[in-house]
Amino acid sequence: MRSAIIEAANGRKRCHNKRDEPVPTYYRREGQVKMRNKKSWLGTAAMASLVLLAACGKEEGADGTGPSADGQKAPAGAKAAEPVDPNKQVELTVYSMLSGNYEGFMASEGQYIQRKYPNFKFKFIAPGTGTSLKDVVTAKTPIDIIISTPDVQPIIDVGLDSDISDLVQKYNYDLNRFLPVTIDSMKHITGGKLFGLPGRVSSYTLYYNKDLFDKFGVPYLNDKMTWDDIQETARRLTRVDGGVQYYGFAGDIIAMLDMNEKAPQYVDPKTQQATLSNDYWKRVFDRLVPLYSMVPNFAEPTKLTNLTTSRNMFSKEKSVAIVIGVNDAGTRAVSEKWDMNWDISPFPSFKSNPKEGPQPSVRYYLVSATSKFRDEAFAAITQFVSDDVQRELVKEGATPPLQNVGYADLLASGVPELKGKNVKALIPPVYGEMNMKDQYYIAARAELINGFNKVIAGQKDVNTALREAEEAANKKIAELKSK
């Protein structure tokens, strides 16, 4: 078997750098920890988007005191037990479903764990030839920690899932530190079990080019605007000037389709059939189509609805005034050298649905069922999500999965490029409920996006596009089942 194990001792590595979710990694530059991500606008290494709920209650201390695992308040003065001796020596093997490499892991996670546990060493495995999850299980390679997206089904399929509720109770660990959506969604996906803890959260926000607003005499965006207001503003900015077509609005359509209060169903979990041709999706299309069709029958709709192309139209071509993007502004503005006067506005809601918000993209840190060091793995994970570590990452622009109200004022305070920007707008006012993003969901969503693009291009009406999208999705689902 070709090994993709990265050895801490000798630096040997074989890995891939592919990223599949929008959450950031950090890398070292001139002694600073910075975020980097190749694929998503917020770096899945990307880490960004914390939703600080206004009703968070009092700030939890770094000592981990708080309610017990069953949600009851711990006795007055009770503190979380120390999982392991800080001086203990152990080597933990980390498997990342997100790819990456040893150096990236150590820069974004490992170094912070070693601050408390200096004698913890790590091996790192990423998916590759001979190192798929199935491969390492077949080879009986020991795994202690798994880094995963919310789609934990592949982990369940190979028997590496492990409920850590016993460790939470054993060490009186306070789950109420986390944003409720990050814990509730995990338990919803796993049937009530807790496989791990959330360590990163990213989501979406709006960026806008103030130069274009000034050019066309349109007032800047503000934090109280709804999607209805954004649509009207974008309409005023959509025009041809000097032979150049300017677009008032563009951005990742996935962010808009997934926007919700209660997660929309793309596929019926019982029948495993697509559910796209219904009144829910018709209402969604009816309210979203006007945002993307201000240039009638636009021949290249994917330029406006795709994350990467819409971002390029905003930051490079400067033909888009307002764009949806992953909330990794500090990373993007520096790496892409945004030479414009830009700012940030919160992800809005619709007037008719004020409780809707973008879904978070969460990176989970799981304890493997095969781990011989469950307590040590749990200790490593809880150290990474500790207040001290997360506070430092927040200063560098990351948005953690914690609901500590004190983080809002620290957000991106260590990023000079964001000085004077509306950085609090990187945090959505509310998160939507997360979908279970399995292969059937991904297949159905792809067909829904295809149908939406056809409507924008004037090729299909909404009803026809939805009906054909559902038929195509069911065909893809059948193909996936047959494999």
Q: Would you say the pTM of this structure is higher than 0.75?
A: yes
Residues 160 and 22 placed together within one structural domain of the fold: yes
pLDDT at 74: 42
Report the amino acid identity of residue 27: Y
Q: Which of 379, 394, 426 is the last residue of a domain?
A: 426
Tens digits of residue pLDDT in 121-174: 999 999 999 999 999 999 999 999 999 998 898 999 999 999 999 999 999 999
Residues 76 and 111 placed together within one structural domain of the fold: yes
Residues 295 and 400 placed together within one structural domain of the fold: no
Residues 366 and 416 placed together within one structural domain of the fold: yes
pLDDT at 265: 87
Tens digits of residue pLDDT in 389-421: 999 999 988 888 998 767 878 999 998 888 999
pLDDT at 330: 66
Q: Are 145 and 381 in contact (CB under 8 A)?
A: yes
Using CB atoms within 10 Å of the CB of residue 268, give its burial: 0 to 12 exposed, 13 to 18 middle, 19+ buried.
Answer: exposed
CATH value at residue 399:
3.40.190.10
In a domain, 371, yes or no: yes
Residues 129 and 220 placed together within one structural domain of the fold: no
Q: Provide the pLDDT confidence category of residue 185 given band limits of 50, 70 and 90.
A: confident
Residue whose token pair is 């502004």: 329
Residues 328 and 193 placed together within one structural domain of the fold: no
pLDDT at 214: 98
Q: Judge whether residue 382 has pLDDT over 80.
A: yes
Distance CA(297)–CA(457), nearest Å, equals 4
Residues 183 and 217 placed together within one structural domain of the fold: no
Using CB atoms within 10 Å of the CB of residue 225, give its burial: 0 to 12 exposed, 13 to 18 middle, 19+ buried.
Answer: middle
In terms of average pLDDT, the best of 47-61, 185-199, 363-377, 393-407 is 363-377
Tens digits of residue pLDDT in 31-83: 333 333 333 333 333 333 333 333 333 334 443 444 433 443 444 445 667 77
In a domain, 411, yes or no: yes
Residues 151 and 175 placed together within one structural domain of the fold: yes
pLDDT at 45: 35
Q: Judge whether residue 483 has pLDDT over 90.
A: no
pLDDT at 289: 95
In a domain, 334, yes or no: yes
Q: What percent of the chain has pLDDT over 90?
A: 66
Q: Judge whether residue 3 has pLDDT over 80.
A: no
In a domain, 119, yes or no: yes
| CA atoms within 13 A of residue 102's CA, in its CB half-sphere | 18
In a domain, 181, yes or no: yes
Residue whose token pair is 């850590």: 164
Q: b/e for 308-343, b at 16 or more Cβ within 10 A?
A: ebbbbbbbeebbbbbbbbbbbbbbbbbeeebeeebb
What are the backbone angles phi and psi of residue 241, rounded to the nearest 5°?
A: -140, 125
Q: Judge whether residue 436 has pLDDT over 90.
A: no
Residues 126 and 218 placed together within one structural domain of the fold: no
The residue range of the domain holding 333 is: 204-357+435-482
Q: Provide the pLDDT confidence category of residue 264 given band limits of 50, 70 and 90.
A: confident
Q: What is the dihedral of CA 427, 430, 431, 432, to 10 degrees?
A: -150
What is the average pLDDT across 203-230?
Answer: 97
Q: Which of 62-66, 188-192, 235-239, 330-334 has the lowest mean pLDDT?
A: 62-66
Q: Tally the domains of the chain.
A: 2
Residues 185 and 78 placed together within one structural domain of the fold: yes
Q: Which of 56-65, 81-90, 193-202 has the lowest mean pLDDT?
A: 56-65
Mean pLDDT of the chain: 84
In a domain, 1, yes or no: no
Residues 312 and 457 placed together within one structural domain of the fold: yes
Q: Judge whether residue 384 has pLDDT over 90.
A: yes
Residues 130 and 150 placed together within one structural domain of the fold: yes
The SS3 assignment for 173 reads coil
What is the average pLDDT across 14-22?
Answer: 37
Distance CA(63)–CA(51), nearest Å, equals 22
